[in-house]
């Protein structure tokens, strides 16, 4: 074996950092699910301390020497060279950020999130605005620091934090294409669906029964409950730590399908996390490739799989057994139409897959304007409502259903939203490839046998971690680069077929 002392030292350091970040991940989950309202400031101090220690370890001047020496080493395993690439990417982002800014942002994000929860419940944008201005100001500082260090535009520097290698020059033509045909397609799809009656899937279901069904579906799909759990939060998410994956949803007795499909969406994220290579755990190469890929996994499960007729043939008997749901509304044909119904709604997380990209494009445009200063935070509600009317033909009746609905900006997560639609495109491409590889897929799904499909995802996506850059992973998984024509063909087949 070739001696690699510098690479060995780097890998040891990054495993230490990963352990600290895992601890922070559990503290974040606790803050979102059960932290007492008066404890936010104390939790912010704890998370800031962990963030500072992690940042110190990642920006230690010794690492520069190790990276220089590692460039001359020739490790036997190709994965170690790929891991060196990923470590350098993390190091470049970390050294671009002043430590004081890291601590300040960490504290502010937690305070902002808790204020957002109260503001959203009260539909009180004016009350949230002061701390939101602080978030925008510090995020601008962060973007400027990374921009200067990485030789990227400020917005590209933020994009690169969530999806290494992603640039606005890639996003812009894809989103321009979507805007050129999708608003009209929404109307066409709605008109097409109006030719057949759609009975609403209305039922009042106690939350305890919804929770039981959600756990049953998670386990059926392959979630390992020995290394994860599900809880309730104001905004559904998947978090926790490697080997301890936490997902959440939110419940309403009169809309159980929202909670169920929230669980299914987050289970897609969780399956990815649980399928990452255990032998690379604690190293950057062992992490998910990026948020576009992560969102492809959640949307693959929620949209591509769990709204299909084959999955509903599996699910509907479970609903009858668990909730006593029966009748014309609960046939496979009607349930398929109801769960793929196109509607001009206000809420992104409840949106159908036809209108969903328009919700994302709206946010992508607004967050760039907020960061550049072209849009003042005080003018966000009006700008939001104007774009909602232009793209979706509706105007939110209040702030909670408008610009206060998402947790991302209150947490300073600018540059994240585009990954949802890129993930939707990749999810459609993955399903097309899976159908070619698994000709008996629908029969297997109808029988509740998800192992072949999840196993295919494990083989094509999960097991690679961050070994490949995203474009190479897409080709390795599907046989071709990201192709928006596949996404459009999927929408046309499902909604106009």
Do 228 and 243 touch, CB atoms closer than 8 A?
no
> What are the DSSP calls for 67-107, one per residue?
HHHHTT---SSHHHHHHHHHHHHHHHHHHTS-HHHHHHHHH
Distance CA 342, CA 225 (A): 34
Strand blocks (E) in 127-243: 228-232, 238-241
Angle at 33 between CA 367 and CA 42, to 5 degrees: 85
Three-class SS state of 350: helix
Q: Which residue has 């010794």 as its token pair?
A: 62
Spell out the residues 6+ positions from residue 385 whose beta carbon is closer than 8 angstroms to its own. 395, 396, 402
Distances, alpha carbon 422 to alpha carbons 163, 351, 362, in Å = 11, 16, 14
Q: What residue spans of 35-77 are helical by DSSP H?
A: 40-59, 61-70
> What are the DSSP calls for 269-286, one per residue?
HHHHHHHS-GGGTTSGGG
Q: What is the DSSP letter of 2?
A: -
Distance CA 426, CA 384 (A): 27
Q: At what angle do helices 5-33 and 78-95 cross, to 10 degrees?
A: 60
Ramachandran sector of residue 47 (left: φ over 0; alpha: ψ -120 to 50; beta: rest): alpha
Closest CA to 419 of 248, 238, 112, 174: 174
Helices (H) and strands (E) in the chain, counts: 20, 3
Distance CA 228, CA 257 (A): 22
Is 266 annotated as catalytic?
A: yes
Spell out the residues 6+ positions from residue 389 whose beta carbon is closer than 8 angstroms to its own. 395
Distance CA 120, CA 234 (A): 10
Distance CA 491, CA 304 (A): 11
Distance CA 362, CA 358 (A): 6
Q: Which of 266, 287, 353, 367 is catalytic?
A: 266
Distance CA 431, CA 438 (A): 10
Closest CA to 474 of 268, 271, 292, 277: 292
Q: Quick one: tokens of 360? A: 């994302």
| Catalytic residue ranges | 266
């Amino acid at each position: 074996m070739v001696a690699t002392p510098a690479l060995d030292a780097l890998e040891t350091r990054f495993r230490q950092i990963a352990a600290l970040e895992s601890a922070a991940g559990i503290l974040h989950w606790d803050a979102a699910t059960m932290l007492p309202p008066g404890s936010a400031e104390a939790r912010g101090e704890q998370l800031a301390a962990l963030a500072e220690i992690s940042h110190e370890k990642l920006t230690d001047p010794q690492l520069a020497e190790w990276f220089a020496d590692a460039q001359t080493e020739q490790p036997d395993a190709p994965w170690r060279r790929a891991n060196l690439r990923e470590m350098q990417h993390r190091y470049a982002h970390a050294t671009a950020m002043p430590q004081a800014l890291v601590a300040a942002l960490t504290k502010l994000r937690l305070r902002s999130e808790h204020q957002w929860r109260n503001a959203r419940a009260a539909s009180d944008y004016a009350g949230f605005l002061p701390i939101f201005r602080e978030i925008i100001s510090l995020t601008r500082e962060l973007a400027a620091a990374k921009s200067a260090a990485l030789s990227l535009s400020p917005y590209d520097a933020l994009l690169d934090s969530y999806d290494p290698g992603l640039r606005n020059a890639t996003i812009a033509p894809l989103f321009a294409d979507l805007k050129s045909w999708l608003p009209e397609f929404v109307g066409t799809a709605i008109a097409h669906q109006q030719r057949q009656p759609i009975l609403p899937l209305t039922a009042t279901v106690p939350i305890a029964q919804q929770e039981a069904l959600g756990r049953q579906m998670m386990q059926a799909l392959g979630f390992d409950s020995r290394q994860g759990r599900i809880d309730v939060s104001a905004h559904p998410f998947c978090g926790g730590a490697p080997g301890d994956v936490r997902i959440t949803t939110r419940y309403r007795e009169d809309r159980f399908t929202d909670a169920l499909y929230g669980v299914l969406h987050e289970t897609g994220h969780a399956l990815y996390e649980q399928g990452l290579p255990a032998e690379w755990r604690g190293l950057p190469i062992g992490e998910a490739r990026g948020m576009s890929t992560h969102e492809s996994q959640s949307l693959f499960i929620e949209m591509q799989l769990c709204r299909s007729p084959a999955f509903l043939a599996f699910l509907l008997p479970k609903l009858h057994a668990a909730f006593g749901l029966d009748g014309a509304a609960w046939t496979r044909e009607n349930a398929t139409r109801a769960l793929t119904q196109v509607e001009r709604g206000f809420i992104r997380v409840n949106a159908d897959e036809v209108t969903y990209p328009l919700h994302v494009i709206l946010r992508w445009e607004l967050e760039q304007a907020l960061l550049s200063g072209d849009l003042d935070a005080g003018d966000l509600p009006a700008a939001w409502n104007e774009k909602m009317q232009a793209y979706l033909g509706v105007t939110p009746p209040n702030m909670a259903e408008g610009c206060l609905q998402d947790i991302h900006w209150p947490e300073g997560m600018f540059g994240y939203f585009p990954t949802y639609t890129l993930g939707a495109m990749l999810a459609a491409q993955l399903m097309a490839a899976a159908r070619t590889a698994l000709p008996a897929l629908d029969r297997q799904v109808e029988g509740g046998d998800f192992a072949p499909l999840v196993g295919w995802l494990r083989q094509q996506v999960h097991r690679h971690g961050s070994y490949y850059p995203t474009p190479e992973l897409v080709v390795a998984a599907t046989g071709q680069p990201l192709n928006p024509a596949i996404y459009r063909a999927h929408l046309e087949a499902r909604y106009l077929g």
